Amino acid sequence: MTAVGSDLWQRLAAYEIGPAATALSFTDRLARENRWDRTYTQRVIREYKRFCYLAVIAGHPVTPSDAVDQAWHLHLTYSRDYWERFCPQALGAPLHHGPTAGGGAERTRYYDQYAATLKSYEESFGKPPPGDIWPAAARRFGVDPKAFRINPADAIIMPRRWARWLVLAAILAAAMIFLAGRMA
């Protein structure tokens, strides 16, 4: 039987995270906190549910992608929903979050667990996970851990390529001003 046909997956797929009658839903909050659009956020939530499915059935420790981990972290803050409804009713088991202790051995362990998670995902769902949510292990453990939260009210955020062009434009403007001053 595929994951999609299982009772566990049906319960997870139907599960709505958080209280229903709120001004800011779980989906809206996850989108806001990560600056994701609604469509991407909904996809991440589906992948979070798939990760939870794998945590129960894979037979080995599983490791989430960074995006899936963001959904998991936020869900854990909805502690009553997570521990009193989600784990017992949807998962049928507790699912604890254990952060890394750091260091080379831990990096290797989580790297290997992530690779096994991706393999189990493909076996369970019949296709590889979406690369924009589940990047390759090299990115997950090389680039993603360098990320940190920035409040956009306190900083200007732009893609690195834009910053390079901005610096180049500033240098050219300064050179033109300097040359104009020398010619006057």
pTM (2 d.p.): 0.83
Rounded Cα distance, 128 and 141, in Å: 19
Q: Could you tell me if 31 and 99 lie in one domain?
A: yes
**Residue 39: HSE in the Cβ half-sphere, 13 Å Cα cutoff:** 1
Q: Could you tell me if 34 and 86 lie in one domain?
A: yes
pLDDT for res 159: 82
pLDDT for res 151: 77
Q: 146 by DSSP, 3-state: which?
A: helix
CA 67 to chain centre: 0
Q: Could you tell me if 51 and 104 lie in one domain?
A: yes
Q: Could you tell me if 19 and 48 lie in one domain?
A: yes
Structural domain total, the chain: 2
**Digitized pLDDT (tens) for each residue of the chain, 184 residues in all:** 467 779 999 999 999 999 888 899 999 999 999 999 999 999 999 999 999 999 999 999 999 999 999 999 999 999 999 999 999 999 999 999 988 777 878 888 999 999 999 999 999 999 999 999 999 998 888 887 777 777 778 878 778 888 888 888 889 988 888 888 888 7
Q: Could you tell me if 43 and 18 lie in one domain?
A: yes
Q: In this structure, are residues 13 and 7 in contact, taking their beta carbons and an 8 Å threshold?
A: no
Q: 138 by DSSP, 3-state: which?
A: helix
Q: Could you tell me if 108 and 127 lie in one domain?
A: yes
pLDDT for res 72: 97
pLDDT for res 121: 97
Q: Could you tell me if 82 and 163 lie in one domain?
A: no
pLDDT for res 161: 87
Domain containing 182 equals 155-184
Q: Could you tell me if 80 and 159 lie in one domain?
A: no
Q: Determine the Cα angle at 110 with ends 120 and 29, to 5°.
A: 80
Q: Could you tell me if 40 and 116 lie in one domain?
A: yes
Q: Could you tell me if 159 and 144 lie in one domain?
A: no
Q: Could you tell me if 121 and 166 lie in one domain?
A: no
Per DSSP, 75 falls in state H
Q: Could you tell me if 177 and 91 lie in one domain?
A: no
